[in-house]
Copies of this chain bind each other. A is one copy, B any other.
Amino acid sequence: MPQIIKERLFTPGPTPLLMEGQARTLTATLHHRTEAFKQLMNETLENLRYFFNTKNDVLMFSSSGTGAMEGSIANLTSPGERVLVCTAGKFGERWVELASAYGLETVKVEAPYGQPLSVEEIGKCLRNDGPFRAVYVQATETSTGVSHDVKAISDLVRPLPETCLVVDGITGLGTTDLRPDEWGLDVVIGGSQKALMVPPGLAFASVSEKAWKLIGKSKSPRYYFDFAKERKNLAKGQSSYTPATTLVVGLHATLQYIREVGRENLIANAAMLAKATREAAKAMGLSLFATDSPANAVTAIKSPEGMDSGAIVKEMRSRFGAIIANGQGTMKGKIFRLAHLGYYDALELFAGLAGVEISLVKLGHKCELGSGVRAAQKVYMEHAG
């Protein structure tokens, strides 16, 4: 029976849009080389610093998050230099690919999919295999749903005067407690289509004074993602090249909303939804993929024995118009992922879980209807009072 079906995103990017932000883009008739846009840009950058929880410069690029990741390779290194890449999933592997593309000597500390990085191993590597120009890590590894102990890693890197710590915070920002200034996170990368509630197309990088010093000496080629050039222009409320104007207008609006909600509340909201989802998964008789140090950004759940997770993804899409994420790479077919990034609320989670329960039952998994929702409701009630 064909029915009314509303499309809903439960994916770790793109995420649900704040309609008030989108609406603002419809009436924005501004050119990027005007005073009005400069003011908008300045306010946006100021509020980005609030969102990033830093006093450092936050650079903005019209690109996907990967663009700013590339920038943090190109600007901090010179060809042949040694970097340490901490990798625990598909996005960790992207650091490896980027370092390779720029001719760097890469030393890896790896964790298997679904497990967090060992801080001890990172420490050992820093002591034995350095010196490193930079250390690259994900705050939260979106492909596996694992969160890393960025603070502990920063404690290892901060004392090294010639080594910068670069954190991919694309899904970590707005979901996880990150303190760039207090901990000494030299570069933190973000993207618009995550907790910022804006469509894809903007990438960000906060840059510390320590990083700027290194950038001054590094010789890897860069042009579009030239941090120093961008910093100079942004100081005048200008981007070096034509910015994605409507996205900036939307971001300006969503950042105002995020300031109203409060950064800590936004993070607490994601933490509550993530915990509720983990409890729901267990109540549905499922196992979590990341049992140790699960992320607030996204929860990866193992498909029941013998069931391709792609079938769950498909069922959710065709039955409810609900888009959930499959696993990536070798995790494809084995896990599915539900996100908690940005503009998600409790009712949305309950709806998604009720849909997952039905999809699982339809595919032959034995689970009590309503059991996952109930577990999530309990977590909500513990947290919301």
Residues of A at under 8 Å CB distance from B? 1-6, 8, 26, 261-262, 265-266, 268-269, 272, 319-322, 342-348, 350-352, 354-355, 357-358, 361-362, 368-371, 373-374, 377-378, 380-381, 383-385
State which of B6, B350, B357 has its C-beta within 8 Å of the C-beta of A345.
B6
State which of B6, B261, B319, B377 has its C-beta within 8 Å of the C-beta of A348.
B6
| 4 A-B pairs with least C-beta separation | A370-B374, A370-B370, A350-B354, A351-B351
Known contacts being A370-B377, A374-B369, is A343 close to B6, with CB within 8 Å?
A: yes
In the complex, the chain B residue whose C-beta lies closest to that of A270 is B4
CA distance A370 to B26 in the complex (A): 40
> Chain B residues with Cβ under 8 A from A26's Cβ?
26
Give A326 Cβ to nearest chain B Cβ, in Å: 20
Q: List 9 A-B contacts (CB under 8 A).
A: A3-B261, A4-B269, A6-B345, A320-B345, A320-B346, A348-B351, A358-B377, A369-B377, A373-B373
Give A192 Cβ to nearest chain B Cβ, in Å: 17
> Chain B residues with Cβ under 8 A from A4's Cβ?
261, 266, 269, 342-345
Give A246 Cβ to nearest chain B Cβ, in Å: 14
Apart from A3-B269, A3-B346, A4-B342, 9 more pairs, CB < 8 Å: A1-B265, A4-B343, A5-B345, A6-B347, A320-B347, A347-B352, A347-B354, A358-B377, A369-B378
Give A7 Cβ to nearest chain B Cβ, in Å: 10
From DSSP, what is the main secondary structure of chain A's interface residues? Answer: helix
> Chain B residues with Cβ under 8 A from A370's Cβ?
370-371, 373-374, 377
> Chain B residues with Cβ under 8 A from A383's Cβ?
1
B377 touches A368 (CB 8 A): no
In the complex, the chain B residue whose C-beta lies closest to that of A197 is B4
A381 touches B362 (CB 8 A): yes
A354 touches B377 (CB 8 A): yes
CA distance A352 to B354 in the complex (A): 11
B371 touches A347 (CB 8 A): no
A377 touches B357 (CB 8 A): yes
Give A85 Cβ to nearest chain B Cβ, in Å: 34
> Chain B residues with Cβ under 8 A from A371's Cβ?
370
Most chain B beta carbons < 10 A, residue from A265, A319, A351: A351
In the complex, the chain B residue whose C-beta lies closest to that of A378 is B369
Give A69 Cβ to nearest chain B Cβ, in Å: 27
Give A351 Cβ to nearest chain B Cβ, in Å: 4
A322 touches B343 (CB 8 A): no
A381 touches B368 (CB 8 A): no
Give A360 Cβ to nearest chain B Cβ, in Å: 11
